[in-house]
Amino acid sequence: MRLQRLSPNTGARPDHPPRRLLILDDEEAILLPLSEFFREHGYCVVATREPEEAEALLDHDPFDLVILDLALTRFGREGLEVLSAIRSHSPWLPVIILSGNISPEIEDLAAELKADAVLMKPQPLDELAMRVAELLGDRR
Amino acid sequence: MNTRCLLDQLLAPGSLRAEFQPVFQVSATRPPVHYLEGLLRGPAGSNVERPEVLFAYARRKRAEVAMDRASLITVLSAARALGDVSIGVNVHATTLAVDLQFLPFLWDVLMETGIEARRLVLEVVEHGHVWDRRVFGFNLDGLRRLGVRLALDDFGTGEANYLMLLECRPDYLKVDRYFVHGCHTDARRQAVLDSLAGLAGRVGGRVIAEGIETLGELDRVRSAGIELAQGFLLGRPGPAAGWPMAACS
């Protein structure tokens, strides 16, 4: 993914704790730069490759937004399955799905599960950051 | 590229570590340590360092048995440095309900670590309610015959309820911190604590009040007749090296 300068829509807000993002992607080559990018822009990022680890974290920690890979093939799970689990206990939580292959069927399923955005991989990081800020109501 | 599943990494030797937090007999003038609860920790700095996330992850992976076994090995190995004090270790009720090899496994760990069964307090935690009472009863009977004491953890919340009280017949009822927090200023919490102290007396167990953080809470717990307590006011979790043998005896 392309690293681009981003401002002013970041997770750092004066007099507020940083926004907390949970990022789930089974590919470290995507997870690491994505996490680093959002950390550099003031977000508190918890990154994980495993869906069960993400679910355990969601059980115990508050997050402001989740970025979710659609195909978690390394662990035999689908991102939509994780989204369904998130929706069952945190229907208010903004969720962005990233996928290398977006079909109308996937869009329909994601909409049914109330995904807040379905974005194509690779996604320019500045555009992704804009969507995050929009969903968090931080865009000025 | 790290392709190993986190669970495999966690269960590898040396990955997990134990800290110990005291349960004090607060009815005494100079409260002695009644036992030290061994608390499992994930790798430092990882997402699963905290035990609640670590065990939630294990449950999501349906790996309670493997994680409980790793916990027993980790805690009891670390406890070898602690002299003759009793040691508490958490174990899922589901593990006791499905693992027919639990008793021989535990016996091997006790032999390996040189810790006598009478020093062990198994703190039974429960997060589900569908389990085989036959296997559960078999394991509990065996544990009692070995001299292992049983505690029912987080009593009063979730599945740690009256059914478990009757099934488990615990030596200790660990009252969840929810009922202790602010109990000195909350008449309803006081009523719950008074009731549990009376109930424990009738079923042959002793109450342990969890989560004591203020002197007011400690005084109120004592006045309810509760003799055992645990919490940050009394002692925070720390590594085995922080508990010299003299302090534990």
In CATH, what number is assigned to the domain containing residue A55? 3.40.50.2300
Select from B4, B46, B54, B60 the residue whose CB has the most chain A CBs within 10 Å, as the one to mutate to test that interface. Answer: B60
Q: Does residue A6 lie within any of the structural domains?
A: no
Residue A119 to chain B, least CA–CA distance (Å):
25
pLDDT band at B194 (very low <50, low <70, confident <90, very high): very high
Burial of A18 (0-12, 13-18, 19+ CB in 10 A): middle
- Which of the pair, B133 or B45, is modelled with greater confidence? B45
Mean pLDDT of all residues in B49-60 = 93
What does the alpha-carbon distance between residue B111 and residue B89 come to, in Å, rounded to a whole number? 16
Total domains present in chain A: 1
CB atoms B50 and A60 under 8 Å: yes
A11 — pLDDT class (breaks 50, 70, 90): low
* A10 within domain boundaries: no
In the block, residue with structure tokens 């309803």:
B188
DSSP classification of residue A17: P
Q: What is the pLDDT of residue A36?
A: 95
CA dihedral over B163, B164, B165, B169, signed as positive or negative:
positive
pLDDT bin (cut points 50, 70, 90) of residue A4 is very low
Is the pLDDT score of B106 beyond 60?
A: yes
3-class secondary structure, A38: helix
Mean pLDDT, to the nearest integer, of B171-178?
Answer: 94
CB of B86 within 8 A of CB of A85?
A: no
By three-state DSSP, how is residue A2 classified? Answer: coil
Residue B16 has pLDDT above 90, yes or no: yes
The DSSP call for residue A74 is: G
Tell me if A27 is assigned to some domain: yes
pLDDT (0 to 100) of residue A93: 93
Confidence grade of residue A1 (pLDDT, cut at 50, 70, 90):
very low
pLDDT tier for residue B218 given thresholds of 50, 70 and 90: very high
Residues of A in Cβ contact (< 8 Å) with B62: none
DSSP string for B5-73: -HHHHHHSTTS-EEEEEEEEETTSSSPPEEEEEEEEE-STTSTT-SHHHHHHHHHHTT-HHHHHHHHHH
What architecture does CATH give domain B6-248?
A: Alpha-Beta Barrel (3.20)
Lowest mean pLDDT among A120-124, B129-133, B245-249: B245-249
Q: d(Cα A84, Cα B120) in Å, to the nearest integer?
A: 42
State yes or no: pLDDT of B1 exceeds 60: no
* Of the candidates B113, B120, B116, the residue with the CA atom closest to the CA atom of residue B87: B120
Between CA B67 and CA B40 the distance in angstroms is 10
Q: Are B188 and B196 in contact (CB under 8 A)?
A: no
Domain ranges of chain B: 6-248
In a domain, A30, yes or no: yes
pLDDT at A15 over 80: no
Asked if pLDDT for residue A10 goes beyond 80, the answer is no
Radius of gyration of chain B (CA): 18
Which pTM does this prediction carry?
Answer: 0.81
* Rounded Cα distance, A75 and B215, in Å: 48
Q: Does B3 touch chain A (CB under 8 A)?
A: yes
Q: Do B53 and A48 touch (CB under 8 A)?
A: no
* Reported confidence tier of residue B78, pLDDT bands at 50, 70, 90: very high
Mutate: best of A53, A57, A73, partner B, most B CBs <10 A: A53
CB atoms within 10 A of CB A129: 22
- Quote the domain boundaries for residue A104: 20-135
Contacts of A60 in chain B (CB under 8 A): 50, 52-53, 56
Q: How far is B56 from chain A (nearest CA, A)?
A: 5
- Chain B CB contacts of A56 under 8 Å are 48, 53-54, 56-57, 59-60
Q: What is the pLDDT, as a whole number, of residue A100?
A: 82
Mean pLDDT for the stretch of residues B76-86: 92
Answer whether residue A14 is part of any domain: no
CB contact burial B137-159 (16+ within 10 A = b; e otherwise): ebbbebbeeeebbbbbbbbbeee
Mutation target to probe the A interface, by most A beta carbons within 10 A, among B4, B7, B61 is B61
Question: Between these two residues, B75 and B247, which has the higher pLDDT value?
Answer: B75
Asked casually if ipTM beats, i.e. exceeds, 0.90, the reply is: no
A97 band by pLDDT with thresholds 50, 70 and 90: very high
Whether A11 is in a domain gets the answer: no
Chain B residue closest in CA terms to A75: B5
Question: Does the structure show a pLDDT above 50 at B174?
Answer: yes
Mean pLDDT of A101-105: 83
pLDDT of residue B2: 54
Supply the mean pLDDT for chain A: 84
Query: Which member of B5, B6, B53 has the closest CB to residue A60?
Result: B53
Q: B185 and chain A: CB distance < 8 Å anywhere?
A: no
Residues of B in contact with A59 (CB under 8 A): 52-53, 56
- The helix/strand/coil state of A25 is coil
Question: pLDDT tens across A30-76, in order?
Answer: 899 999 999 999 999 999 999 999 999 998 889 999 999 887 777 66
The reply to whether A49 falls in a domain is yes
Structure tokens of A49? 């490759």
For A52, the closest of B1, B2, B61 (CB atoms) is B61
Confidence of residue B129 (pLDDT cuts 50, 70, 90): low
Residue at A76 is within a domain = yes
pLDDT of residue B29: 74
